[in-house]
Amino acid sequence: MALQAWRAMVRKDLLLFFTDRRAVIMSFAAPIAIASFFGFIFSGNRSAETARVPVRVVDQDRSVISQAIVQGLSADKTLEVTGGTVDESREAVRRGKTTVAVVVPAGFGEAAGQAFFGGGGKPQLELLYDPSHGAELAMVRGILTEHVMQAVSAEMFGGDQGRRLTQQALERTATSGGMAEGDRRALADMLGAVNRWYERGTPSPSPGASPVAARGLAMPYTTREEAVTVRTGVPYNGFAHSFGGMGVQFLLFACIDLAIGMLLERQQGLWKRLRAAPLSRGVLLAGKGTSGALIALMTLGVTFAFGMIVFRIRVEGSWLAFL
């Protein structure tokens, strides 16, 4: 008797569930749609090329150093560099078309060269940025620091500006009256050695050959990136994460819906009418729990089946733990 009543209750709840079109759509279509949406967002770029940050560079200096900075930023694989004026760049940032705009002011190269050895004030670069992209601003600032140091040091250690500044320092040393004779002589010898190093560091190219690039500070290391997944040789699939999370989330929603349904049935007096029959409270609770568990498992199964067929997600771990 109890078994027949339990089966009848489970059958009744399943029939009520499948006749409610809204409940079926929310239980099966909603988790699939939401999981697919978040899977496309968080799956990452499957191609080898990463998404680039849109950056505008305004070169008002037009010096060797500023042009080297622009070339370095343009060659960086993480940035999408375009030019323009200050007003155009500001408007592009305001409209959200550009994340960061870098303004290189006039005289930056000359001032940066003098400040490189502590001989003058530090010039200022202006960064126009979207306040909603703080992470991109920090990334652009770090990349900009690398290329500025490389461009300035290359010019100072092997360019015409470095030679000119060294010559000016030699002339100031010769006419300086506030320095001891021994110190003046030692400084002059050092600056002369720097000039001789310039001559050795930038040999004259042979006829028809390309000019030798000036040597400057560069990154002293390279990186090798390796994505570590659950198994060797298995690529990361963001849809597996989104479908797993959304499946469990709607499983919890099904439990909440079951509990609310039991409370509503109690308020409507349905439980009193059922208790009028020769049924124990345990049979009633077992019937409701079984039907709710079956609906939740069907929701989870359909969601994962769709993900496995369409997005090729796989259970890379233990099937027993998954079940």
Position 210 confidence tier, pLDDT thresholds 50, 70, 90: very low
| Per-position b or e across 232-263, b if 16+ CB within 10 A of its CB | eeeeebbbbbbbbbbbeebbebbeebbeebbe
For residue range 80-105, list pLDDT tens digits in order. Answer: 999 999 999 999 999 999 999 999 99
What pLDDT, on a 0 to 100 scale, did the predictor assign at position 203? 53
Q: Is the pLDDT of residue 9 over 70?
A: yes
CATH number of 53-158: 3.40.1710.10
What is the b/e burial string over 22-31, where b = at least 16 CB atoms within 10 angstroms of the residue's CB? eeeebbbeeb
Q: Above 60 in pLDDT, residue 1?
A: no
For residue 216, pLDDT beyond 70: no
pLDDT at res. 222: 73
The CA distance from 157 to 152, in Å, is 9
Q: Label residue 306 by pLDDT band (50, 70, 90).
A: very high
| Per-residue pLDDT, 212 | 46
255-285 pLDDT, tens digit per residue, is: 888 888 888 888 888 777 777 777 777 888 8
pLDDT mean over 278-297: 84
Q: What is the pLDDT of residue 69?
A: 93
- Sorted by where each begins, the domain ranges of the chain are 2-44+239-322, 53-158
Q: Write the DSSP symbol of residue 29.
A: I
194-211: string of b/e by CB count within 10 Å (b at 16+)?
Answer: beeebeeebeeeeeeeee
DSSP 248-303: HHHHHHHHHHHHHHHHHHHHTTHHHHHHHSS--HHHHHHHHHHHHHHHHHHHHHHH
pLDDT digits (tens, 9 = 90+) for 48-89: 456 789 999 999 999 999 999 999 999 998 999 999 999 999
Q: For position 178, what pLDDT does the model report?
A: 67
Q: How does pLDDT run across 123-156, given as a tens digit for each residue?
A: 999 999 999 998 999 999 999 999 999 998 888 7
Q: Is 23 a residue whose pLDDT tops 60?
A: yes
The reported pLDDT for the residue numbered 70 is 94
In the chain, the percentage of residues whose pLDDT exceeds 90 is 25
What distance in Å separates the CA atoms of residue 179 and residue 260, rounded to the nearest whole number? 90
Q: What is the pLDDT of residue 94?
A: 94
